[in-house]
Structure 1
């Protein structure tokens, strides 16, 4: 099932407002998206044809073109809701409650982001494969990552102002380095690369890098065993 829009996160330009009942066209468009979401679990988009996508949705080839001009536009449409799920999972990084420690917030967010990324990994894998050749998709991905970076930078600046975070590189530069680090490592996980961090270690590893870079502390487990620097 394609992820549904969450109540927070990056704004999508294609969200329909109002409470009207779905039309036949809406249902057909959703059938294309849901069919593609399932098809891409086992089949790379570059080997999928328009006929494959139309057949999966129970539509003709001409009907497919009424909703999407290319298979890459289908991927474009799926990316927004997936990114919203990742943003929601990252919420504690950006808006940590006052009563929550950085360790608890970062550990929970890292675990949730890894879980969401693993669930949608086949879509994010295809995005990573396509961004180099599809300018529209690359621009969308850059915009999404930019929103994550800006939210993280604002959080770092707030925590530095209150003395919770340690000093370091400019907040946006640090946020960009951390976000792209996470994106690359999670992407390798989705690709099942031999060089990927082991799935059992990736959440702790990402949380550790964030905590030591931003707050100068390790995870709660590392603090208990005396391994934090």
Structure 2
């Protein structure tokens, strides 16, 4: 399984990567807080991660999740109150992967040019989003109907926005970035632009940007909006 092979830790709260980075909300929302080594809970999460590749969560039953994990229905409820809480639990490490991929947006090294930083971040975010696309697709589908998940997702995106706004303000202060709308407003527009377009990619929407074009497109929008420049190839 991809999740198991990559050693995804579904119990971890995502840690701050720098003194100014986000601290994500704890997403462990099951009935209990098992130890990291609890193999049965891990079996539920790993099984769900794979099952959701081909089946939307709304079509998955508790019995499906329990059977996939080799457990009884009652054993499932020992760990989670609902199938939606399984999705909540998978969101933490996915968010961590996306933030790590975005690191050069938030904390660009002093010796790295904006084009290189944004292009690399865009490429890495697209790759991570594509890898976890089936989970993020389900989050996008569920936020309208699950208030707890909607609140959590908006909180996560809000912290991405704050981190990007701080980076824009730092670059404007040093003359690297151009002037424009308030930094937070611009960061929000850019982050929601990325979230919506990557979400369409995950849903395989006919309106999605072609996979081979999405990283360059996102990088171009960021660079022109924040720095007033194009990509290195332009």
TM-score with structure 2 length normalisation? 0.87
C-alpha RMSD over aligned residues = 3.7
C-alpha distance 76-42 of structure 1, shift in aligned 2 (>3 A): same
Q: Tell me the residue number matched to 2:121.
A: 109
The answer to whether the 8 Å contact 2:194/2:218 transfers is yes
Q: Tell me the residue number matched to 2:10.
A: none
Q: Tell me the residue number matched to 1:155.
A: 167
Structure 1 spans left out of the alignment, 5+ residues: 223-229
C-alpha distance 28-8 of structure 1, shift in aligned 2 (>3 A): farther
C-alpha distance 95-6 of structure 1, shift in aligned 2 (>3 A): closer
Cα deviation digits, residues 164-215 of structure 1 (max 9, x gap): 0000000000000000000000000000001000000000000000000000
Q: Distance in 1 between matches of 2:31 and 2:87?
A: 26
Shift of 1:11: 3.4
Q: Distance in 2 between matches of 1:15 and 1:209?
A: 32
| Number of residues of Structure 1 aligned to a counterpart in Structure 2 | 221
Cα deviation digits, residues 133-157 of structure 1 (max 9, x gap): 0000001100110110000000000
Structure 2 spans left out of the alignment, 5+ residues: 1-13
Cα deviation digits, residues 55-109 of structure 1 (max 9, x gap): 0111100010011000000000001110110000000000000000000000000
Q: Distance in 2 between matches of 1:156 and 1:7?
A: 17
The answer to whether the 8 Å contact 1:5/1:81 transfers is no
